[in-house]
């Protein structure tokens, strides 16, 4: 394996903070590196340095000669003077230049073979089809649309598409899954799994890390700890490292305690041996220790009492801009229910939240809200914050305490539970990282209480530790939770139910987590594709001559025709029963061993229904005198 890039002893200071303090990372030509660490720890800064867009205060970055790097930042920019497709194509300018040069060369040129090999390595001959496929799978806006018309999420998909179609030697991606729906994320996973180059990425999507990475680089206290393997391997190794450091620190503290007791006893004879013991004490006492990583204790205020009725959706439907998003949606929310809403962007997920909140009237149906239901809504846009305010001022709203049932918690204590230290609490908002802003926003909103918590994409920009603690807080929340998210790991950990927007106005309810829903959907799709009844082939009508005599039904055929409707109905009921089994959230536990038999039985019943309908038409034709003699 050859080295593409090496960053050695990187130091970066920002104001009074040292973000990177000797960070070192080497990337080989087949490495798939996932970078993790708390928000504000310097991950994005290190990515910018690797991409050559920022210089460190000290340290060295060495890149392979002619190394091509593709970079997607959190604060990306697009050219507003050109359309969507032109922006995507701008990422492949180096490939287009190679093709243009190749086409102008004489076939006898010595550079001809070199260019052809380079274009082939970059898959340049399939450039148009690759761009079209990437734009389609990432659900990019139409290619001729103006960048100025796009939302922030749409622009991010265009920027990601521009980065990956370039096929650089090294892809550097900062939060590539933000604002992508689940299907788009799955396509990106498949794309990167077969990527011929190397990549390093920062993401909060733990399934993404687990499926793609072969190395995890943890950035903590300004330095990098590297772990071989994917995210699951990292978690196991990290736990072992933490345990070992705790043992070392415990032994150090015990040594200091013993030596301090000895020093305080003041031995009369200060021998050379005792002086050495004192020197050893000070040497150990001055040793640098690893700062504890610490965990955020996310505080969701205890909700007020919730009634038997929380929210009932009764035949709810809506149409926006001439497009029907969904119709006849029936659902009952209950206490301690945590419902995950998922599906492609633009199908109506956020619209549903607004209908539940009463911010948007449904076109049809009713929303019945319980008298004791109190909403607390965290939207995608979050809350606007005065950039000049400190964190304390941003959260206070003129008060110094947060109400917790009948108790009060000081704002400083409250903010510390969101992992803000004393010096950060008095820092101006404009100096916060993106992740710190998200934590601040959650702190501002969650203190408002409520017994029905509605979160729209809460996982965007949160680091992995904060995500884990948010999940724990929601699991302990005694009220009702409704959350829109494309984070599969988050949905698996938190949700008791899934409402999935599957397109064409269809919203499916599944009792269980996201993995259970995804497996169930695959079974439904497989059954629909494999056992879809073929349309019966209609026989050519027989032309009768004047001498033809119309055949009548026999007694047996007449009885068969009379019972045909009931026979078909019985078969259709049997098919419905089997399909209902496949939709059961506990299907695998209850019927997993019978899957093959049930699938075969379902196929046979559907085939029999097709035959029965054909026979019914045949007998009806004979009875009416239009059938064969």
- As a whole number of angstroms, the distance between CA 213 and CA 192 comes to 10
Q: Sheet harboring 17-28: ordered strands across? A: 17-28, 3-14, 58-63
Q: Are 195 and 221 in contact (CB under 8 A)?
A: no
Round the average pLDDT of the chain to a whole number and report it: 83
Output the CA angle 518-129-126, nearest 5 degrees: 120
Q: Sheet harboring 452-456: ordered strands across? A: 375-378, 452-456, 480-484, 338-343, 497-503, 506-511
How many residues would you count in the chain? 629
pLDDT tens, 152-163?
778 888 999 999
410-417: long-range contacts, CB 8 A cutoff, minimum separation 24: 414/299, 414/443, 414/447, 415/391, 415/443, 417/296, 417/297, 417/298, 417/299
Q: Indicate the helix (H) or strand (E) that contains 69.
A: strand 69-72
- Tokens, residue 231: 């995210």
Q: Could you give the percent of the chain with pLDDT greater than 70?
A: 85
- As a whole number of angstroms, the distance between CA 107 and CA 321 comes to 56
Q: Are 609 and 568 in contact (CB under 8 A)?
A: yes
- Tokens, residue 431: 């100096």
Report pLDDT for 460: 73
Residue 617 vs residue 191, higher pLDDT: 191
DSSP labels for 78-133?
Answer: --TTSBHHHHHHHTTHHHHHHHHHHHHS-TT-TTHHHHHHHHHHTTGGGHHHHHHH
SS3 297: coil
Report pLDDT for 103: 86
When mean pLDDT is compared over 18-27, 467-476, 564-573, 617-626, the highest value belongs to: 18-27
Report pLDDT for 45: 93
Q: Which residue has the tokens 């494999």?
A: 530
Report pLDDT for 544: 44
Closest residue by Cα to residue 72 from 41, 42, 93, 44: 44
Burial of residue 99 (CB within 10 Å: 0-12, 13-18, 19+) is: middle
- As a whole number of angstroms, the distance between CA 562 and CA 566 comes to 8
pLDDT tens, 80-117?
999 999 999 998 998 999 998 888 888 778 888 888 88
Asked if the model's pLDDT at residue 537 lies above 80, the reply is no
Asked if the model's pLDDT at residue 325 lies above 80, the reply is yes
- Cα of 256 vs its chain's centroid, Å: 47
Report pLDDT for 256: 76
- Tokens, residue 498: 């899934």
Q: Are 229 and 215 in contact (CB under 8 A)?
A: yes
Kindly report whether the global pTM for this prediction surpasses the value 0.75.
Answer: no
Could you tell me the end-to-end alpha-carbon distance of the chain, in angstroms, rounded to an integer? 79
Model confidence at 543, in pLDDT bands (50, 70, 90)? very low
Q: Are 463 and 38 in contact (CB under 8 A)?
A: yes
Model confidence at 316, in pLDDT bands (50, 70, 90)? very high
Least confident of 19-23, 359-363, 538-542, 567-571: 538-542
Count Cα atoms within 13 angstroms, Cβ side, for 429: 19
Neighbours of 372 (CB within 10 A): 15
- Tokens, residue 109: 């040129």
Closest residue by Cα to residue 293 from 43, 465, 425, 42: 465
pLDDT tens, 224-250?
999 999 988 988 887 787 777 778 877
Asked if the model's pLDDT at residue 587 lies above 70, the reply is no
Asked if the model's pLDDT at residue 389 lies above 80, the reply is yes
Burial of residue 303 (CB within 10 Å: 0-12, 13-18, 19+) is: buried
- As a whole number of angstroms, the distance between CA 117 and CA 130 comes to 18
Model confidence at 547, in pLDDT bands (50, 70, 90)? very low
DSSP state of 290: P
């Amino acid at each position: 394996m050859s080295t593409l890039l090496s960053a050695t002893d990187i130091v970066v200071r920002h104001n009074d903070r040292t973000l990177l303090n000797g960070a070192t990372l080497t990337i080989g030509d087949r490495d798939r590196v996932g970078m993790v660490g708390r928000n504000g720890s310097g991950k994005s800064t290190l990515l910018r340095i690797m991409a050559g867009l920022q210089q460190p205060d000290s340290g060295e970055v060495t890149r392979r000669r002619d190394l091509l790097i593709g970079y997607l930042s959190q604060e990306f920019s697009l050219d507003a003077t050109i359309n969507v497709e032109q922006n995507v194509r701008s990422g492949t300018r180096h490939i287009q230049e190679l093709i243009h040069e190749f086409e102008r060369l004489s076939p006898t040129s010595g550079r001809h073979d070199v260019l052809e090999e380079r274009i082939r390595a970059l898959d340049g001959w399939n450039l148009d089809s690759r761009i079209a496929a990437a734009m389609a799978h990432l659900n990019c806006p139409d290619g001729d649309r103006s960048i100025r018309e796009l939302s922030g999420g749409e622009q991010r998909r265009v920027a990601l598409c521009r980065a990956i179609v370039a096929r650089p030697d090294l892809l550097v991606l900062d939060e590539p899954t933000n604002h992508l729906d689940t299907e788009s994320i799955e396509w990106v996973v498949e794309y990167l799994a077969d990527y011929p180059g190397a990549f390093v990425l920062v993401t909060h999507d733990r399934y993404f890390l687990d499926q793609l990475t072969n190395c995890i680089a943890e950035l903590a206290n300004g330095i990098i700890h590297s772990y071989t393997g994917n995210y699951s391997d990292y978690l196991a190794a990290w736990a072992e490292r933490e345990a070992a450091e705790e043992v070392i620190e415990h032994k150090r503290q015990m040594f200091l305690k013993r030596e301090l007791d000895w020093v305080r006893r003041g031995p009369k004879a200060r021998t050379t041996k005792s002086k050495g013991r004192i020197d050893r004490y000070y040497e150990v006492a001055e040793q640098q220790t690893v700062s504890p990583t610490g965990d955020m204790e996310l505080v969701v205020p205890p909700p007020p009492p919730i009634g038997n009725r929380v929210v009932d959706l009764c035949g709810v439907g809506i149409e926006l801009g001439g497009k029907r998003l969904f119709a006849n949606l029936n659902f009952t929310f209950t206490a301690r229910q945590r419902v995950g809403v998922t599906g492609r962007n633009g199908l109506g997920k956020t619209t549903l939240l607004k209908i539940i909140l009463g911010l948007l009237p449904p076109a049809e149906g009713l929303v019945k809200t319980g008298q004791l239901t109190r909403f607390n809504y965290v939207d995608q846009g979050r809350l606007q914050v005065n950039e000049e305010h400190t964190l304390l001022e941003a959260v206070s709203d003129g008060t110094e305490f947060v109400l917790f049932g009948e108790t009060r918690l000081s704002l400083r204590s409250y903010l510390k539970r969101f992992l803000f230290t004393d010096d950060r609490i008095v820092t101006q908002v404009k100096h916060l990282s993106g992740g710190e802003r998200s934590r601040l926003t959650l702190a501002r909103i969650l203190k408002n209480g409520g017994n029905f918590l509605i979160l729209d994409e809460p996982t965007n920009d949160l680091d992995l530790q904060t995500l884990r603690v948010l999940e724990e807080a929601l699991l302990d929340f005694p009220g009702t939770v409704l959350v829109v998210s494309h984070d599969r790991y988050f949905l698996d950990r938190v949700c008791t139910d899934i409402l999935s927007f599957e397109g064409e106005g269809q919203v499916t309810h599944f009792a269980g987590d996201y993995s259970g829903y995804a497996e169930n959907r695959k079974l439904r799709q497989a059954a629909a594709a494999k056992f879809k009844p073929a349309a019966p082939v209609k026989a050519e009508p027989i032309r009768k001559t004047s001498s033809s005599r119309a055949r009548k039904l026999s007694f047996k055929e007449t009885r068969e025709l009379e019972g045909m409707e009931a026979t078909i109905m019985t078969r259709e009921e049997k098919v419905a029963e089997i399909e209902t089994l496949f939709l059961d959230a506990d299907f695998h536990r209850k019927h997993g061993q019978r899957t093959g038999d049930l699938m075969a039985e379902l196929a046979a019943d559907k085939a029999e229904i097709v035959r029965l309908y054909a026979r019914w038409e045949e007998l009806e034709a004979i009875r009416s005198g239009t059938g064969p003699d």
